[in-house]
Structures are given as structure tokens and as C-alpha cells.
């Protein structure tokens, strides 16, 4: 089911989490891991996309331990972020099945003091994605929109860090319909045990595309901090080819905004749809971000 090069558990993946798993009781799975600098989003904090992938892995193993089939793939994931998750600290994640009419599981990430920092609810179906889901989405590849400007990249962010050898090196652009376009190529070390793009890369790029949409009206005065993230997987996603994500604001209030996003394959097929809920914070409130140290700026293509 798993390989030595899996982003989450692969012992031979030099940039992965290398999580260690155990089954302390029947129907339960526990993972032990330490997030490193290459797994960060905001400096010193683990990226929400990497967290989502870890919780998916924990829940998937709980499911596999109880089911006769082992070829099931996360179909829907809903994640709620309660507290930031620090880097460089030994942490634990746990997962178990839930008794529902559909294949489901819950997973939680615990801080060192036992506090639940992140919780996730997942639904599973057999591998192979329904074409009807793509048709029902009503979306089509929005190529051809005019690009208004390119957004900045940082130094070590898992998604946009240009000096992060483990990262995705995503490029972000603002478009004339007030949406964000992201372009990137997932490398082999971003793959899961099936050889497709891992959930870490999927969740992280969609999260950023939706969250960065707040920069269109506010510039760098306001940042979006992820509170909730959900998405539905429609197709497996290959590595080694250029992919695109799109994101936009769908609702905004004084302290919060919501966004929707998509991930597209090179042929224009819709692979993932997503929704995010974000807290609006200024740089002073966030604290700890030094634009010069983090090399925050627009790089030429």
C-alpha cells in the first residue's frame, strides 16, 4: 500500500515527513512526526496542506486496517484549523473510523500538551473517480483570462518558497476577473504511495490560490489565515507535468472571507474542487514575518 518514497511515510524520501505509524488499539492509528523547515507555510509553522495530507494518511490507514479493500482514496476532506502547528517539535496525529452510511474517518493532530490543534473529517470511496462529478460541477478550464500582475514568492514556504528544495515553487498571478492563477510542476518527491500527486501538494496549492485572492483588493496589508479547508477529489493527479490552480473570494465580512478554487490537469480536465474559510489579519497582528529575511518579493518568470 505504501512505498519508501511516499511524501508522508517514505523512509527514502529525503524531503518528506517520514512519519512513523502504530496501531495501539483495534480500529485506531497513531502517527509520530516532526515537521521541518521545508514543510512550513508561515515561518515557524507547519503548512496547512502538509497537515491535511498527514491526517488523510492516518485516517486511510485506520480504514485499511478494518476493511477488506485497500484501494480506497480520499474523496472529500474537511479540515478545521484551531491552532498553529509548530516546526521542530515531536507531535502526534491519531485517526479512527466513524460509523456512518459511507466510508468515513476522523483524524486529529495533537500538540505536545495534548491539545487538539487540527481536526479532519474524511469520506472515502473506491479508487476511480466519477465522470458525473465533473459534469455536475459546471466548471470549465478558464484559460485566456488576462493576467494583471504576478504575486510575490518567499524563501522557504512549502508552496512558493524559491529556496525550498522540497517545495512546489508555485507561481501566482492575479487576473482580470479578480481570481488567482497558480502554475507549478509537482516533482517525484511530492508523490503518494500510488505515484500520483500527494494530498499535501493538492491541499497546499488550493489553499494558497484561494487565500491569496485577498491580496487583490488589499495588497499586502491583509493576509488570509486558514480556518477551514475542504475539497473533493475528482481525478488522480500526475506528477512531472505543469498543473494549474485557480482561486477567488466568494464571500467577505469584516474579519473573515471565503473562497472557492479548482485544480486543473494539462488537458483542461477538472481534478479537484475546493472551498476555504479564512481569518483576515494584518502583518502586525501576525507577527514574526520579516519580508527581507524571508526574501518576500516578485521574481521574474
- The CA angle 95-100-105, to the nearest 5 degrees, is 15
Q: In the prediction, which pLDDT does 209 show? A: 96
Q: In the prediction, which pLDDT does 280 show? A: 96
Q: Which residues contact 291 (CB under 8 A, 6 or more apart)?
A: 297
226-237 tens-digit pLDDT: 999 998 888 889
pTM of this prediction exceeds 0.75: yes
Statement: residue 100 has pLDDT above 60: no
More confident residue, 89 or 28: 89
Per-residue pLDDT band at 5 (split at 50, 70, 90)? confident
52-62 tens-digit pLDDT: 989 988 887 88
Statement: residue 40 has pLDDT above 50: yes
Per-residue pLDDT band at 199 (split at 50, 70, 90)? confident
Q: What is the CATH number of domain 20-286?
A: 2.40.160.210
109-165 tens-digit pLDDT: 999 999 999 999 887 655 444 445 545 555 666 667 899 999 999 999 999 999 998
Per-residue pLDDT band at 68 (split at 50, 70, 90)? very low
Per-residue pLDDT band at 2 (split at 50, 70, 90)? low
Domain locations in the chain?
A: 20-286
Sign of the four-CA dihedral 146, 138, 104, 237: negative
Per-residue pLDDT band at 252 (split at 50, 70, 90)? very high
Statement: residue 242 has pLDDT above 60: yes
Q: In the prediction, which pLDDT does 110 show? A: 95
Amino acid at each position: 500500500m505504501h512505498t519508501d518514497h511516499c511524501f508522508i511515510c517514505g523512509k527514502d524520501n529525503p524531503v518528506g515527513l517520514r512519519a512513523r505509524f502504530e496501531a495501539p488499539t483495534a480500529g485506531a492509528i497513531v502517527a509520530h512526526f516532526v515537521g521541518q523547515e521545508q514543510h512550513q507555510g508561515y515561518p515557524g509553522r507547519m503548512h496547512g496542506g502538509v497537515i491535511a495530507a498527514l491526517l488523510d494518511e492516518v485516517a486511510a490507514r485506520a480504514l485499511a486496517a478494518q476493511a477488506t479493500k485497500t484501494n480506497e482514496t480520499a474523496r472529500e476532506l474537511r479540515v478545521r484549523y484551531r491552532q498553529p502547528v509548530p516546526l521542530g517539535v515531536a507531535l502526534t496525529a491519531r485517526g479512527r473510523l466513524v460509523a456512518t452510511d459511507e466510508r468515513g474517518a476522523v483524524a486529529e493532530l495533537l500538540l505536545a500538551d495534548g491539545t487538539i490543534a487540527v481536526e479532519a473529517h474524511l469520506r472515502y470511496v473506491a479508487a476511480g473517480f466519477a465522470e458525473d462529478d465533473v459534469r455536475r460541477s459546471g466548471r470549465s478550464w478558464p484559460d485566456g483570462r488576462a493576467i494583471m500582475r504576478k504575486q510575490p514568492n518567499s524563501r522557504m514556504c512549502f508552496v512558493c518558497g524559491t529556496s525550498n528544495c522540497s517545495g512546489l515553487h508555485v507561481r501566482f498571478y492575479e487576473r482580470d476577473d479578480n481570481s488567482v492563477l497558480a502554475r507549478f510542476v509537482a516533482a517525484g518527491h511530492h508523490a503518494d504511495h500510488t505515484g500520483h500527486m500527494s494530498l499535501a501538494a493538492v491541499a497546499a496549492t488550493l489553499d494558497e490560490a484561494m487565500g491569496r485572492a485577498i491580496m487583490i483588493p488589499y495588497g499586502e496589508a491583509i493576509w488570509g489565515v486558514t480556518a477551514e479547508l475542504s475539497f473533493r477529489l475528482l481525478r488522480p493527479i500526475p506528477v512531472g507535468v505543469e498543473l494549474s490552480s485557480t482561486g477567488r473570494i466568494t464571500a467577505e465580512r469584516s474579519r473573515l472571507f471565503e473562497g472557492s478554487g479548482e485544480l486543473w490537469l494539462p488537458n483542461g480536465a477538472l481534478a479537484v474542487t475546493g472551498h476555504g474559510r479564512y481569518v483576515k489579519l494584518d502583518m502586525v497582528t501576525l507577527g514574526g514575518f520579516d519580508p527581507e529575511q524571508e526574501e518576500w518579493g516578485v521574481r521574474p518568470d
